[in-house]
Amino acid sequence: MKTLQDVRPFDSAKTMSAELADQLCERIRNNRLAPGDRLGTEADLADQFGVSRTVVREAIGSLRGLGVVTGRQGLGLCVGEGDNFSSVLRKALVPQVASPEGWRELQQLRAVIEIGSIALAVEMITAEEIVRLQTIVAEMKRVMKNIKQDPAGTSKTYKELDCLFHQTILAASHGNFVKQFHGVLLDYFHAGDLYGHPPTSKGLRDHEIIANAIADRDIDQATKYLTEHLKPQLKAPCE
């Protein structure tokens, strides 16, 4: 029988229950287990990992609180519902938002995800999604007309449309994991001050030409314009 230490070298900085919780998360990811898939009973897991039922109970308690694991009558422990991924990811990224450097890294991650997904989005986007993008841009133009009269209200509304624009592009790639990951990052930015600067005519024009390139299904142009639009986020803090 393998023990927890046999599966992976034990991290002395962690408790046995925390180590087991990490191992169970790895099993879910590596085996691509879906919501509702069975993990076994507490006794099963204690036997598999060579730990006590108490350690299993503590590990499961923390994962249950995050929604990663749930209990089902007659089945034992199962993978939690899919929408809990976002909740878990938000908790995992909390340390990053505690410093300016962490914010910068999240910005860079968001840019990498978007640029890396744009080719697939252009290939797979539907006619309805193209219309949605163009409608968002048209609404951005309308909102921008009020920037002088109501700068605060205009910035807030424009920020929401900006997030919706980029979420629509990621949704067009039809990768649920990528879309959820990106959505969590945008939620952080929306709640923080990374969009604190007022919208500009250049930013509006960027969105328009990106939408046009996607509507033309021109992968090269869409990638070029999106990269230029997100370039400030790709720069290192010292640049």
The pLDDT tens digits for 111-159 are 888 899 999 999 999 999 999 999 999 999 999 999 889 988 888 899 8
DSSP reduced 3-state for 159: helix
Asked whether this chain's domains 4-82 and 99-234 adopt the same fold, the reply is no
* Cα separation, 167 vs 182, whole angstroms: 7
What pLDDT is stored for residue 124 in this prediction? 93
- Chain centroid to Cα 128, Å, comes to 24
**Domain boundary assignment for the chain:** 4-82, 99-234
- Chain centroid to Cα 87, Å, comes to 10
* Cα separation, 136 vs 211, whole angstroms: 10
* Cα separation, 197 vs 80, whole angstroms: 39
HSE, CB side, 13 Å, CA atoms: give it for residue 49: 30
What pLDDT is stored for residue 94 in this prediction? 60
**Where do we find the tokens 């023990």?**
3
CATH architecture of 4-82: Orthogonal Bundle (1.10)
* Cα separation, 169 vs 43, whole angstroms: 45
* Cα separation, 164 vs 157, whole angstroms: 11
What pLDDT is stored for residue 135 in this prediction? 96
- Chain centroid to Cα 175, Å, comes to 11
CATH superfamily, with its number, for domain 99-234:
GntR ligand-binding domain-like (1.20.120.530)
| Cβ proximity of 103 and 93 under 8 Å | no
Find, among 66, 78, 82, 37, the residue nearest to 179 by Cα. 82
Q: Identify the segments of the chain with pLDDT beneath 70.
A: 1-14, 65-66, 81-99, 176-177, 179-180, 187-197, 234-239
